[in-house]
Structure 1
Amino acid sequence: MKNVGNIKADIRNLSDVELQDLFNFIGEIMTLNSLSNNLPKDCRESRFSKGEICPHCNSDNIIKNGKLCGKQRYKCKTCGKTFNDFTKSALSYTKLSLETWIEYAKCMVLGYSIRKCADIVNICVKTSFYMRHKILDAVRMFMGIGNVEGVVEMDETFVAESFKGNHMKSGFVMPRPPRKRGKQVKKRGISNEQVCVATAIDRNNDLIIEMVCKGRVRHSDLERLYKGRISDNSIICTDSHKSYIQFATNLKLDHKRIMRGHYKNGIYHINHINSLHSKFKEWMLRFHGVSTKFLVNYLYWFKWLQNFSEDKEIIKNKNLLIHSTINFVDTKINNFKGRKPIFV
């Protein structure tokens, strides 16, 4: 093993580029160690910000119950079950180290594919898939659908329905002939081969983005999603689609329509939401198709990235894991099997 003097001599012989790489590597190690040491405490404080409660029955009648693998355990005197600080979260039911989860969260912040995440973190693709959706299931519960107010731009975008990941050997029966790789839907225009993603964004960048139906959106779909989530005095800006006219009438909202061939109506426009949809489509290309039953998780992943886009990368890495542990969510692997698409 080299002594300190030899190490210093080797460092002096490094080029500027090699020194920069060394400093970056040391910074990554220090950051990882800092996150590993502080993350359990940060997660615990965020999760039990209103007091310690049992994740099984929500009782506050709990006591300490020793430690296991360095983690404090508790026992609920109401239901008799035991738990730790990460029970019913993305980090429960795992044998992987906290450092591995931190490294994986970093890959997700950068928007890497499942296979690329697996290569970087040194895990198998199947494990990478489950880690991704355990985190996203918990983040979806943390964020919720959301609310908008004031001047609200509304529009919808469409994603081809996909049965990616379903196999006939597991008993799955395709409801339509399969499409060849790279091919889009066969029917022209908007059809039931496409999933409608309704989106609303206000001038404070509050965002709602949800799957509502297959094919053309109806005013009943819009009411089901936005009723109670848009303030009464809001002004909605939409294109000329007739569903929004009936929707605005039923909810008694001020409605500004951007007619075909026009870009704005005074200060009212839908430029922000059109830009958001372009970003979403471009962001989704890296995944080469997403199964419809997991599309909702990708919508919330994109929404989370938009909400925290101005934070530094190290803050986003930490917050992604903290936000995936705040709510009590059962993230067992068996819950992913046989999952159905989640429409609002």
Structure 2
Amino acid sequence: MIQHDVELKKFDLHTNDILKRDFYKDRVVESCPLCGSTWHIKYGFFNGIQRYKCKVCDKTFSRTTNSLWSYSKKNTRTWIEFTELMTENKTLKFCSEKLNISIGTAFYWRHKILQALSIDTTPDSLSGVVHIGKVIIKENFKGCRDKEILAAATPREDIWIIGAKGQEDSMFVKPIFKFKYQWDKVAFNEKVYSKIDEKSYIAPYGDRYINLVAMKHNRNKSIKIDTEYRIKYLWPNLKKWLSIFHGVSSKYLQRYLSFFIIMNLDKVVDYMDLIYERLFEGNRFIKTDEIRIRSSLF
């Protein structure tokens, strides 16, 4: 007698197992995630995924350990669908209803992905014609219930975000400093100017401080360049994009900016590219209880 599976539950289970094995089959494990030792041996399989045993601390781990989806109770398909919805800029409420997960889970998943993306989106150097602009936004304490923090933050300070684009298909968009009474030259030099190749040409957009930096760097020479509209219109584009999330807390700002960078590169990236090329490389895991921990914006 053949047992029927009208709702295809077994099929879904097998599909998820196959998807999971496929995602992790090429993931390279270089060291023990617990002690950092590179001395480990293969130690069988679990659900088709390679396991290892560390010869130093004697602990076992697998190719899934410390990956983005480690320890998640939800299946692989749900994570993939969530990543797709996230690239479409869907709200947490929409994702929650579509995937039958809580809004809290959707919030933490979004930040797990944002944290993973923030690891390597900032270029190490900028060369060629380097276009530089700035955006100024007010501090945001969305979700903060600490009255002392809110009281100390009145009035809210201006956060300077510097955007830069070189000849490579990469962008630099990063909070640099809080503007109180003067331009922070030290912070700018350390976080932005130090990345610019000395033979490059700086094209400034709409700021007198950046203009002065450009004049000094370019030694007063001037060349004809094409306008980089992603930098020229950085402020309206970023403002419109952040409005999708109905405000972003300053402590999470850098994570969102990393996602903004990917959305503005020349290379067309879909959600599967995002998963294979960025989310499954190296250690991308962050514990849920670490997501809300306040870290330095700069």
- Normalising by structure 2, what TM-score? 0.81
1:125 to 95, 103, 118: 103
Q: Show the counterpart of 1:181.
A: none
Q: Residue 295 of structure 1 corresponds to which residue in structure 2?
A: 253
Residue 238 in structure 1 maps to residue 213 in structure 2: no
Structure 1 match to 2:8: none
Change (3 A) 1:222 1:173: closer
Query: In the alignment, does 2:147 pair up with 1:193?
Result: no
Residue in 2 aligned with 1:317?
A: 271
Number of residue-to-residue matches in the alignment: 283
Secondary structure of 2:144's counterpart equals coil
Q: How far apart, in 1, do the equivalents of 2:71 and 2:45 lie? A: 16
Structure 1 unaligned blocks of 5 or more: 1-32, 179-185, 187-191, 259-264
- CA drift at 1:148: 1.6
What SS class does the counterpart of residue 134 from structure 1 fall into? helix
Q: Residue type of the partner of 2:273?
A: N
The match for 1:162 among 140, 145, 169 is 140
Q: Taking structure 1 as reference, are residues 64 and 294 closer, same or farther at Cα in structure 2, changes over 3 Å only?
A: same
After the TM superposition, which residues 255-334 of structure 1 pair with which residues of structure 2 at under 5 Å, given as runs? 266-267=224-225, 269=227, 271-307=229-265, 310-311=268-269, 316-322=270-276, 323-334=278-289
Structure 1 distance, partners of 2:21, 2:105, is 22
- Tell which structure's C-alpha radius of gyration is larger: 1
Match of 1:174 in 2: 150
| Cα pair 2:130 2:166 within 8 Å, conserved | yes
Counterparts of 2:98 and 2:148 in 1: how far apart (Å)? 32
Aligned-residue RMSD, C-alpha: 3.1
Contact 1:209 1:299 survives alignment (8 Å): yes
Instruction: Give the aligned partner of residue 85 of structure 2.
Output: 107
Question: Any conservation in 2 of the 1:248–1:254 contact (CA below 8 Å)?
Answer: yes
Aligned to 2:4: none
Q: Distance in 1 between matches of 2:122 and 2:51?
A: 29
Contact 1:219 1:246 in 2 (8 A): no
1:44–1:246 distance in 2 versus 1, CA, 3 Å: farther
Task: Say if 1:136 and 1:324, in contact at 8 Å, map to a contact too.
Answer: no
Using the TM superposition, give the Cα deviation of residue 256 of structure 1 relative to its aligned residue in structure 2, in angstroms. 6.8
| Deviation, structure 1 residue 217 | 4.5
Equivalent-residue separation in structure 1 for 2:17 and 2:235 (angstroms): 36
Which whole-Å CA distance do the structure 1 matches of 2:149 and 2:142 have between them? 12
Aligned to 1:90: 68
DSSP-derived class of the 1:287 partner: coil
The CA deviation string for residues 115-156 of structure 1, in whole angstroms up to 9 with x for no partner, is 222222210011111111111111111334443211011011
Question: 1:256, 1:96 → 2: CA distance?
Answer: 58
Percent identity between the aligned chains?
A: 27
1:342 corresponds in structure 2 to: 297
The 8 Å contact of residues 219 and 247 in structure 1, kept in 2 or not, is answered as: no
Give the drift of 1:42: 4.4
CA contact under 8 A between 1:36 and 1:99: conserved in structure 2? no
Q: Would you say the 8 A contact 1:62–1:77 is kept in 2?
A: yes
Tell me what 1:61 maps to: 39
